Structures are given as structure tokens and as C-alpha cells.
Chains A and B, each alone.
Chain A
């Protein structure tokens, strides 16, 4: 796979929502392929790298995976709260932002729970 296609493949995998019954994901918009992930909570991406891999490659891969999570969280956030996840995080850090930080924190936590970043690294 080429690096340019990684982001899309990650989104497809995370947002697949192939689970049924208890594992059903009612906010996913993926293809619900039974061979892919059940729901975002169960979608774990495992990274394995050789000792000779360059750090630049590793960072590029991380970048694409993080981008996939941010894309999904942004989409879900627009749907639920009418504002992007990125913007909400910016607001949370902004000392001059006038609004309920406690509520914002709750919303951010909810988004993080709906699309949790589960990356594992294999030795």
C-alpha cells in the first residue's frame, strides 16, 4: 500500500461498523463489511516496524493514522454539536473563549470515546 492511501484505508477500517447486536455501531457510516472491524472501539491498528525503518517513515505513518482519527471525530462532532473537533479543542485551550469549559470537556471526551485512538506497537 502507498502512504497516500493509508489515511483512507484507516478511515474505512475504523468506521466500518460491521458488528451486530451488542457490537453494533449506530454512528458509523462504513460499508459494514463483516470481515473488517465491528465498531471503532474494537478497531485496533497494530504497527510493526523494522529496526532499519527511518524515523521519517514512522512519523509519516503516525501522521496519516492520527489524521484518520481526527477526520472521523470532526465528522461526528459536526453531526452532534455543529462544530468541528479540531475547533472544539482549540476553544478548550483558549483562555479567552467564553463558554462552558466543563461542557466542552464532556463533549470532547464523548468524541474520544466514540472514536478512541487505539494504536498498538509490536516489538
Chain B
């Protein structure tokens, strides 16, 4: 009967690790993609300086609208004029209310009155487009707005 007993007794076979690299790479790419999605700006966004400023305390209740001239890679498609960026896409002035509504939808209902819109506008952008955005915000009843600046003397603003 020794023929049937030559298997080692009581030892578990080693786990097959052949697919481990696949899993590691999948996780890695997932993380890289998630991080890059958040902070990819397609426009020039050099904020103007101001010193009479207040800190916003509830960062999770802020919606960001970026305005500035398109970066090099996008200039052919979107031109030289200042454009609006919502999340990670270029947008038209008319898209602003829809953006506000969708942001509101993603927040808890009792927090909606505290939502603030932060305008991150490049210092060389013209007031025309900023005025248009403000007009749209008024239509969407997003009346709490904030102009994001960096802290510094206003003399830094003149070129």
C-alpha cells in the first residue's frame, strides 16, 4: 500500500502567486488615475493677490469654478480668450447653472444653504467672463460667492 502514501501529509500547498503582479498594477493605475483627475487644470490659473482676506472654514461645502486662458495644449481647440473650467472639463457660461444644481444634488439637503461658490480666476482674465458667470450664478440662486486669491500686497497685481 506504500504506493498511495507518498503524498506529504499535513502540509498545505503554496498559494499560486502568479496573478499578484496583475492585481498590484491594477491598484496602482487606479490610484494614479483617481489622483490625476482631481487636480488637472487645463487653464492658466495664477490667482491675484489681496491682503484683506478671510479663510473659508468648511472646505467640503465649496464648489470651485476656474476661469483663465487655456493652456498650450488646448489653445488650438479653445482659443486665446479666458474660458471656464468646471471639474475637469471646459464649459460654456450657460453650463454653470447645471453644474451648480448637480453639485447641490451631491450634498446633504440641510447643508445646501451653506454652499459657497469659490471663483478661482486668473489675474489676467477679463471681467466680462467673470461678470457673465456671476449673472448665471444669480440665476441658479447661488448667491454666496468667494473670490479666491493668494495672500499678498495688491501691488503684486500690476504687471
B44 shortest CB reach to chain A, Å: 12
Given known A-B contacts A63-B51, A63-B154, A67-B52, A53 and B147 have beta carbons under 8 A apart: no
Is the CB–CB distance between B52 and A70 below 8 Å?
Answer: yes
Secondary structure of the A side of the interface? helix
Q: Assess whether B41 is interfacial by the CB under 8 Å rule.
A: no
Q: Which of A37-89 contact B (CB under 8 A)?
A: 49-60, 62-64, 66-67, 70, 89
Which chain A residue has the least Cβ–Cβ distance from B126?
A: A52
Instruction: Say which residue of A49, A59, A123 sits within 8 Å of B154 (CB atoms).
Output: A59
Is the CB–CB distance between B130 and A93 below 8 Å?
Answer: no
Is the CB–CB distance between B50 and A54 below 8 Å?
Answer: no
Interface size for chain B: under 10, 10 to 19, 20 to 34, or 35 or more residues? 20 to 34
Q: Which of B39-80 contact A (CB under 8 A)?
A: 48-52, 54, 57, 67
Q: Assess whether A1 is interfacial by the CB under 8 Å rule.
A: no
Considering the chains assembled together, what is the distance between the CA atoms of A26 and B130 in angstroms?
39
0 or 1 for each of B108-122: is its CB under 8 Å from A? (1 = yes): 000000000000011
Q: Assess whether A3 is interfacial by the CB under 8 Å rule.
A: yes
Q: Which residues of B contact A66 (CB under 8 A)?
A: 52
Is the CB–CB distance between B158 and A56 below 8 Å?
Answer: yes
Is the CB–CB distance between B125 and A60 below 8 Å?
Answer: no
Q: Which residues of B contact A63 (CB under 8 A)?
A: 50-52, 154
Is the CB–CB distance between A54 and B127 below 8 Å?
Answer: yes
